[in-house]
Amino acid sequence: HCYEAVFRLGGANYKCPVCRRLVLFGPDRALYEERLEELRGSLAPPPEYRGVFVDCACHECGGAFVARRHYLYRCPGCGSHNATERGLFGGTAADARRAITLQARSGAFTRTGRPGPPPAGLQAE
């Protein structure tokens, strides 16, 4: 169903218009995610994003997570970049930092598939 819907619409959007999941698989999916990670690393958020945290939702695994505001988000649960901002984080900056640290410790996705260190610029508590 999803796969057919994407190709009926045409274009270069690889997401199902209904469920928003990616319809790329195998090497195509890996290359897509790799390119998005490179793009994410090359984009510096503007100064007004400093200290701003957001609630995000992953369209691949359905997980929710907290992140520093950016242009692109990567789900710490499954590693997909198919995530969107749901709104500003309602807690304090300290609460957000704690949530991000816990996400990193709880088996967050890394390229090796093993839990990784806290995100750059964040000290483990």
Region 98-108 average pLDDT: 76
Q: Looking at beta carbons, which pairs linking 58-67 to residues 24 or more positions away fall under 8 Å?
A: 58/82, 58/83, 59/15, 59/19, 59/20, 59/21, 59/22, 59/83, 59/84, 60/21, 60/22, 65/99, 65/103, 66/96, 66/99, 66/100, 66/103, 67/100
Residue 58 pLDDT:
93
Tokens at residue 8, please?
């009926």
Within 10 angstroms of residue 68's Cβ, the number of other Cβ atoms is: 21
Q: Where are the domains of the chain?
A: 2-105
Q: How confident is the model at residue 112 (pLDDT cuts 50, 70, 90)?
A: very low
Residue 24 pLDDT:
82
Residue 123 pLDDT:
40
Region 99-105 average pLDDT: 81
pLDDT in tens, 1-26: 555 655 555 556 777 777 888 878 88
pLDDT in tens, 39-88: 999 999 999 998 899 999 999 999 888 999 999 999 988 999 999 998 88
Spatial separation of the C-alpha atoms in residues 106 and 76, rounded to whole Å: 9
**Those residues with Cβ within 8 angstroms of residue 6's Cβ, 6 or more apart along the chain or in another chain:** 13, 14, 15, 16, 17, 23
Q: How confident is the model at residue 113 (pLDDT cuts 50, 70, 90)?
A: very low
Assess whether pLDDT exceeds 90 at residue 121: no
pTM of the prediction?
0.69
- Phi and psi torsions of 82, nearest 5°: -85, 65
Tokens 């890996």 belong to 30
